[in-house]
Homo-oligomer: A and B are copies of this chain.
Amino acid sequence: MSPAISWLQCIRCGARYDSHEVRYRCDCGDLLEVAHDLARLRELHPDLKRLFNDRVGTNELPYASGVWRYHEMILPELPAGEIVTKPEGNTNLYRSPKLSREFATARLILKHEGENPTLSFKDRGMTAGVSWAKHLGRKIVACASTGDTSAAMAAYAAQVEDMQGVVFLPRDKVSPEQLAQAITYGAKTLAIETDFDGCMKLVQQVCDQRPVYLLNSMNPFRIEGQKAIGLEAVQQLGWRAPDWFVIPVGNAGNISALGKGLWEARELGLIDRLPRIAGVQALAADPFYRSYQTGFREKITVTAQPTAASAIRIGAPVSHDKAAAVVQRFHGVVEAVSEEELMEAKALADRCGVAVCPNSGVALAGLRKLRARGVIADGESVVVILTAHGAKFSQVGVDYHTGRLPGLSPKQPNPPLVVSADLPAVLRALGL
């Protein structure tokens, strides 16, 4: 048998494990990543660019997917027939004079990952994670999440015959939107009398002690799917890397995946240079930003405060070390933005016709600050990764535009106008 193309490797001590071993951490305690033998991949596939280009527009599964189009770079040893895909990806790039003006960036492109089937970028990771779970023969997959992760896991598990998704939620701290996306997709949903950290601890215990496959963010196979965001973006741009990617940072898995994918793309000759990467956090939960300010000499954790960008309210990012390596390799920067800045940036994108979530607002607000400070120069091309669809965040949108977000006075308010039911009043309201 030929040696494996892919294996699990510790990001600190470098220890290797068979990719078919069910484990989420190294014996040393640190995170694992899926490593690939890139030299071997180059040998096996001398013209990956052509292979990937030929798959664009196909209806054939799994290659119609914006993840599995890059199968040979994602999980090359996973048989195509075992892949669980909707398909996902193939998300739009948005650019317009209006967007460029609002964000003072002439060459601005928004990649809208909220256009995935469950309306967030998490689908890309979950198609990989659930496919791998199926490949390993696991019948139960689980995660602790109140948001996009549980939606994606439940939706992919639901596609598989005889697979049960299990979602751990803190009882009474969950909105109808958050609950709906777990239960409607058929996941067994446990409302546990504890907080989020308590849920996280319990799900890990269950996965350690029973044949339940853990799909929280330390699962390294999810990163392999997520890295297709960057691959798809550069392919859409004709295999040219932009000068910058800008991406929000919470648990830091997404920026880690972006960097891993782009690095491998350059190693495999798909792009000829690396972009720079800017990670952006909300000031309410900015441990990675603070670590960056120490030159990553310190690994800082904080007690995360409430933020409209609820999905990235994380005080101790799981993928901190992977992400720090990415920022260093890509000559990156880390920025942080206030609630006012992130909500204003969201409002600006929304009114250009691109509905974004508050986390995406974090990235967009970071872009504005980096442009204002001249870190991103006039004329540089910028791709901003939008992580979820604005429609998942209706209430915060209404609260912003009607001035009901506590302590925040909106610069771009668009409240409804109450008008009596007669034509002259309506015409007056419209200035007509």
A interface with B by C-beta (< 8 Å): 56-59, 86-87, 90, 92-94, 96-98, 112, 115, 117-119, 140, 154-159, 161, 166, 168-169, 171, 176-177, 179-194, 198, 202, 205-206, 209-210, 212, 236, 347, 350-353, 355, 389-392, 394-395, 397-398, 401, 414-421, 423, 426-427, 429-430, 432
Contact = CB atoms under 8 A, between A and B. Distances in A.
Contacts of A350: 158, 184-186
A183 B419 contact: no
A304 B236 CA distance: 47
Given A96-B159, A190-B430, A198-B421, 9 more contacts: A92-B117, A158-B350, A158-B353, A168-B426, A179-B416, A181-B394, A187-B414, A192-B426, A193-B421
Nearest to A55: B57
What are the nearest 7 A-B pairs in CB distance?
A: A57-B57, A186-B351, A158-B353, A180-B394, A194-B421, A56-B57, A184-B350
A337 to B, nearest CB: 19
A401 B352 CA distance: 37
Instruction: State the main secondary structure of chain A at its contact with B.
Output: mixed
A85 B332 CA distance: 33
Given A115-B117, A194-B421, A352-B159, A397 B166 contact: no
Contact of A193 (B205, B416, B418, B427): B418
Nearest to A178: B394
B155 A401 contact: no
B353 A397 contact: no
B427 A171 contact: no
Contacts of A212: 430, 432
| Identical copies of this chain, number | 2
B166 A430 contact: yes
A423 B93 CA distance: 45
Given A57-B57, A190-B419, A426 B118 contact: no
Contact of A427 (B57, B154, B210, B429): B210
A176 to B, nearest CB: 5
A180 B90 CA distance: 26
A353 B155 contact: yes
A355 B152 CA distance: 11
Nearest to A171: B418
A304 to B, nearest CB: 21
Contacts of A166: 430
Contact of A417 (B156, B158, B188, B210): B188
A427 B87 contact: no
A397 B192 contact: no
A306 to B, nearest CB: 19
A115 B115 contact: yes
Nearest to A401: B183
A184 B92 contact: no
Contacts of A90: 90
5 contacts: A86-B92, A98-B161, A184-B397, A198-B421, A202-B421
A416 B183 contact: yes
Contacts of A159: 96, 98, 352-353
Nearest to A430: B166
A131 to B, nearest CB: 13
A414 B193 contact: no
Contact of A180 (B86, B236, B395): B395
A144 B288 CA distance: 46
